[in-house]
Amino acid sequence: MTRVEQAVLAFLVLFVALGAYFAYVDAAFFRNTYTVEDGFTEWCTFLALFVTFVVCARRFLTLRGMRSPRFLFIVGFLTLFSLFGAGEEISWGQRIIGFESPEFFVDNNSQQEAGIHNLEITIDDESYKLNRIVFGRGLAILFFIYLAVMTPLYRRVPAVTSFIDGFGIPMPRNYQILAYLFVVAVAELLIDSSKRGEITEFGGSLVFMLNVMYPQNAAIFRSEEGTSEDK
Protein backbone atom coordinates (compact mmCIF):
# COMPACT_ATOMS: atom_id res chain seq x y z
CA MET A 1 0.00 0.00 0.00
CA THR A 2 1.04 3.57 -0.64
CA ARG A 3 1.24 6.05 2.23
CA VAL A 4 -2.01 7.62 1.07
CA GLU A 5 -3.77 4.25 1.25
CA GLN A 6 -2.33 3.56 4.70
CA ALA A 7 -3.36 6.99 5.98
CA VAL A 8 -6.92 6.75 4.62
CA LEU A 9 -7.32 3.21 5.93
CA ALA A 10 -6.09 4.18 9.41
CA PHE A 11 -8.42 7.20 9.39
CA LEU A 12 -11.34 4.99 8.38
CA VAL A 13 -10.72 2.33 11.03
CA LEU A 14 -10.24 4.91 13.77
CA PHE A 15 -13.40 6.91 13.13
CA VAL A 16 -15.66 3.95 12.35
CA ALA A 17 -14.50 2.39 15.64
CA LEU A 18 -15.07 5.70 17.44
CA GLY A 19 -18.56 5.80 15.98
CA ALA A 20 -19.32 2.40 17.49
CA TYR A 21 -17.84 3.52 20.80
CA PHE A 22 -19.85 6.74 21.00
CA ALA A 23 -23.04 4.96 19.94
CA TYR A 24 -22.56 2.59 22.89
CA VAL A 25 -21.43 4.97 25.63
CA ASP A 26 -23.18 8.21 24.65
CA ALA A 27 -26.08 7.75 22.25
CA ALA A 28 -27.02 11.44 22.41
CA PHE A 29 -23.53 12.56 21.37
CA PHE A 30 -23.48 9.97 18.59
CA ARG A 31 -26.84 11.15 17.22
CA ASN A 32 -26.61 14.90 17.80
CA THR A 33 -22.90 15.54 17.20
CA TYR A 34 -21.00 12.66 15.60
CA THR A 35 -23.54 11.89 12.86
CA VAL A 36 -25.41 15.21 12.75
CA GLU A 37 -26.32 16.81 9.41
CA ASP A 38 -23.43 18.90 8.06
CA GLY A 39 -21.18 17.34 10.69
CA PHE A 40 -17.83 15.59 10.59
CA THR A 41 -18.90 12.25 9.10
CA GLU A 42 -21.14 13.83 6.46
CA TRP A 43 -18.43 16.16 5.19
CA CYS A 44 -15.91 13.30 5.10
CA THR A 45 -18.38 11.30 3.04
CA PHE A 46 -18.82 14.23 0.68
CA LEU A 47 -15.06 14.74 0.29
CA ALA A 48 -14.44 11.03 -0.40
CA LEU A 49 -17.10 10.97 -3.11
CA PHE A 50 -15.95 14.25 -4.59
CA VAL A 51 -12.35 13.03 -4.80
CA THR A 52 -13.63 9.88 -6.50
CA PHE A 53 -15.54 12.06 -8.97
CA VAL A 54 -12.37 14.03 -9.79
CA VAL A 55 -10.34 10.84 -10.28
CA CYS A 56 -12.95 9.28 -12.57
CA ALA A 57 -13.47 12.50 -14.55
CA ARG A 58 -9.72 12.79 -15.11
CA ARG A 59 -9.56 9.17 -16.29
CA PHE A 60 -12.44 9.72 -18.69
CA LEU A 61 -10.82 12.79 -20.23
CA THR A 62 -7.38 11.16 -20.38
CA LEU A 63 -8.54 7.87 -21.88
CA ARG A 64 -11.11 9.32 -24.27
CA GLY A 65 -10.25 8.08 -27.75
CA MET A 66 -7.90 5.44 -26.30
CA ARG A 67 -10.43 2.96 -24.91
CA SER A 68 -13.56 1.26 -26.18
CA PRO A 69 -17.02 2.87 -25.81
CA ARG A 70 -18.04 0.32 -23.16
CA PHE A 71 -14.89 1.05 -21.14
CA LEU A 72 -15.57 4.79 -21.28
CA PHE A 73 -19.25 4.21 -20.47
CA ILE A 74 -18.38 2.61 -17.12
CA VAL A 75 -15.78 5.27 -16.31
CA GLY A 76 -18.33 7.93 -17.21
CA PHE A 77 -21.00 6.22 -15.13
CA LEU A 78 -18.72 6.11 -12.08
CA THR A 79 -17.92 9.79 -12.65
CA LEU A 80 -21.59 10.77 -12.59
CA PHE A 81 -22.41 8.33 -9.79
CA SER A 82 -19.71 9.84 -7.55
CA LEU A 83 -20.83 13.39 -8.37
CA PHE A 84 -24.44 12.44 -7.64
CA GLY A 85 -23.48 10.87 -4.31
CA ALA A 86 -21.40 13.89 -3.30
CA GLY A 87 -24.16 16.31 -4.25
CA GLU A 88 -26.86 14.32 -2.49
CA GLU A 89 -24.77 14.09 0.66
CA ILE A 90 -24.91 17.88 1.14
CA SER A 91 -28.34 18.32 -0.51
CA TRP A 92 -26.63 19.99 -3.46
CA GLY A 93 -25.39 22.81 -1.25
CA GLN A 94 -28.87 23.83 -0.15
CA ARG A 95 -27.97 24.34 3.50
CA ILE A 96 -24.84 26.26 2.48
CA ILE A 97 -26.41 28.52 -0.14
CA GLY A 98 -29.79 28.67 1.56
CA PHE A 99 -32.11 28.27 -1.45
CA GLU A 100 -35.69 27.14 -0.93
CA SER A 101 -36.75 23.58 -1.70
CA PRO A 102 -39.10 23.20 -4.68
CA GLU A 103 -42.65 22.25 -3.66
CA PHE A 104 -42.20 18.66 -4.89
CA PHE A 105 -39.34 18.06 -2.44
CA VAL A 106 -41.17 19.79 0.41
CA ASP A 107 -44.05 17.36 -0.08
CA ASN A 108 -42.08 14.19 -0.83
CA ASN A 109 -38.66 14.48 0.81
CA SER A 110 -38.44 13.24 4.40
CA GLN A 111 -36.05 16.11 5.20
CA GLN A 112 -37.88 18.59 2.92
CA GLU A 113 -34.61 19.21 1.08
CA ALA A 114 -33.65 19.24 -2.60
CA GLY A 115 -32.40 15.69 -2.84
CA ILE A 116 -33.48 12.39 -4.34
CA HIS A 117 -32.23 9.78 -1.88
CA ASN A 118 -34.54 10.95 0.93
CA LEU A 119 -37.68 10.87 -1.20
CA GLU A 120 -40.67 8.95 0.13
CA ILE A 121 -42.91 7.09 -2.30
CA THR A 122 -46.50 6.23 -1.39
CA ILE A 123 -47.97 3.07 -2.90
CA ASP A 124 -51.41 1.86 -1.78
CA ASP A 125 -51.27 4.15 1.25
CA GLU A 126 -47.91 2.65 2.25
CA SER A 127 -44.89 4.97 2.47
CA TYR A 128 -41.52 3.73 1.22
CA LYS A 129 -38.19 5.54 1.52
CA LEU A 130 -36.19 5.54 -1.70
CA ASN A 131 -33.00 5.63 0.37
CA ARG A 132 -33.72 2.25 1.94
CA ILE A 133 -34.99 0.55 -1.21
CA VAL A 134 -32.51 1.74 -3.85
CA PHE A 135 -29.51 3.14 -1.98
CA GLY A 136 -29.74 0.66 0.87
CA ARG A 137 -30.89 -2.75 -0.28
CA GLY A 138 -30.12 -2.15 -3.95
CA LEU A 139 -26.51 -1.14 -3.36
CA ALA A 140 -26.08 -3.93 -0.79
CA ILE A 141 -27.10 -6.52 -3.39
CA LEU A 142 -24.81 -4.99 -6.03
CA PHE A 143 -21.85 -4.93 -3.67
CA PHE A 144 -22.50 -8.55 -2.65
CA ILE A 145 -22.39 -9.58 -6.32
CA TYR A 146 -19.32 -7.40 -6.86
CA LEU A 147 -17.34 -8.80 -3.92
CA ALA A 148 -18.63 -12.37 -3.62
CA VAL A 149 -19.18 -13.28 -7.27
CA MET A 150 -17.32 -10.96 -9.65
CA THR A 151 -14.09 -10.66 -7.66
CA PRO A 152 -13.39 -14.41 -7.24
CA LEU A 153 -14.24 -15.03 -10.91
CA TYR A 154 -12.05 -12.12 -11.98
CA ARG A 155 -9.08 -13.60 -10.14
CA ARG A 156 -9.57 -17.19 -11.28
CA VAL A 157 -11.06 -17.15 -14.78
CA PRO A 158 -8.98 -15.43 -17.50
CA ALA A 159 -12.02 -14.91 -19.75
CA VAL A 160 -13.83 -13.07 -16.94
CA THR A 161 -10.69 -11.03 -16.23
CA SER A 162 -10.54 -9.90 -19.85
CA PHE A 163 -14.28 -9.19 -19.93
CA ILE A 164 -14.25 -7.04 -16.75
CA ASP A 165 -11.09 -5.20 -17.75
CA GLY A 166 -12.70 -4.46 -21.12
CA PHE A 167 -15.53 -2.74 -19.29
CA GLY A 168 -13.17 -0.66 -17.17
CA ILE A 169 -14.53 -1.90 -13.84
CA PRO A 170 -12.07 -1.21 -10.98
CA MET A 171 -11.65 -4.42 -8.99
CA PRO A 172 -10.87 -4.45 -5.25
CA ARG A 173 -7.62 -5.44 -3.61
CA ASN A 174 -7.66 -7.74 -0.59
CA TYR A 175 -7.37 -4.99 2.02
CA GLN A 176 -10.26 -3.13 0.37
CA ILE A 177 -12.48 -6.21 0.59
CA LEU A 178 -11.62 -6.52 4.28
CA ALA A 179 -12.30 -2.81 4.77
CA TYR A 180 -15.76 -3.11 3.20
CA LEU A 181 -16.54 -6.05 5.49
CA PHE A 182 -15.19 -4.16 8.52
CA VAL A 183 -17.44 -1.17 7.86
CA VAL A 184 -20.55 -3.32 7.43
CA ALA A 185 -19.77 -5.48 10.47
CA VAL A 186 -19.18 -2.54 12.80
CA ALA A 187 -21.88 -0.19 11.54
CA GLU A 188 -24.67 -2.67 10.91
CA LEU A 189 -23.99 -5.25 13.62
CA LEU A 190 -22.44 -3.32 16.52
CA ILE A 191 -24.20 0.05 16.35
CA ASP A 192 -27.74 0.00 17.72
CA SER A 193 -28.98 3.33 16.40
CA SER A 194 -31.15 4.57 13.55
CA LYS A 195 -28.16 6.76 12.59
CA ARG A 196 -25.83 3.82 11.97
CA GLY A 197 -26.38 4.32 8.26
CA GLU A 198 -24.30 7.49 8.51
CA ILE A 199 -21.32 5.40 9.61
CA THR A 200 -21.94 2.93 6.79
CA GLU A 201 -21.95 5.84 4.32
CA PHE A 202 -18.86 7.39 5.91
CA GLY A 203 -16.76 4.22 5.92
CA GLY A 204 -18.16 2.87 2.68
CA SER A 205 -17.40 6.06 0.77
CA LEU A 206 -13.77 6.02 1.95
CA VAL A 207 -13.29 2.39 0.90
CA PHE A 208 -15.04 3.11 -2.41
CA MET A 209 -12.60 5.98 -2.99
CA LEU A 210 -9.63 3.67 -2.36
CA ASN A 211 -11.22 0.97 -4.51
CA VAL A 212 -11.49 3.36 -7.47
CA MET A 213 -8.14 5.12 -6.96
CA TYR A 214 -6.03 2.02 -6.22
CA PRO A 215 -7.77 -0.99 -7.82
CA GLN A 216 -6.18 -4.36 -8.41
CA ASN A 217 -6.38 -3.72 -12.16
CA ALA A 218 -4.89 -0.22 -11.98
CA ALA A 219 -2.87 -0.78 -15.17
CA ILE A 220 -5.96 -0.58 -17.38
CA PHE A 221 -6.46 3.05 -16.35
CA ARG A 222 -2.97 4.17 -17.39
CA SER A 223 -2.79 5.96 -20.71
CA GLU A 224 0.29 4.03 -21.79
CA GLU A 225 -1.42 0.69 -21.10
CA GLY A 226 -4.40 -0.94 -22.71
CA THR A 227 -6.92 -3.66 -22.03
CA SER A 228 -6.71 -6.97 -23.86
CA GLU A 229 -9.48 -5.66 -26.10
CA ASP A 230 -7.40 -2.66 -27.12
CA LYS A 231 -4.26 -4.63 -27.94
SS3 of 7-68: HHHHHHHHHHHHHHHHHHHCHHHHHHHHCCCCCHHHHHHHHHHHHHHHHHHHHHHHHCCCCC
Distance CA 113, CA 23 (A): 26
Contact 226, 163 (CB under 8 A): no
Distance CA 44, CA 39 (A): 9
Contact 212, 173 (CB under 8 A): no
Contact 215, 170 (CB under 8 A): yes
Note the pLDDT of residue 231. 43
Least confident of 52-66, 86-100, 155-169: 86-100
pLDDT exceeds cutoff 70 at 107: no
The pTM of the full predicted model, rounded to 2 decimals, is: 0.86
Q: 113: closest CA among 127, 96, 128, 126?
A: 96
Write the pLDDT tens digit of every residue in 207-221.
Answer: 999 999 999 999 999
122-138 average pLDDT score: 65
Least confident of 62-66, 91-95, 98-102, 149-153: 98-102
Per-residue DSSP letters for 127-142? EEEHHHIIIIIIHHHH
Eight-state DSSP code of residue 114? S
Residues in the chain: 231
Distance CA 57, CA 215 (A): 16
Grade residue 204 by pLDDT with cuts at 50, 70 and 90. very high
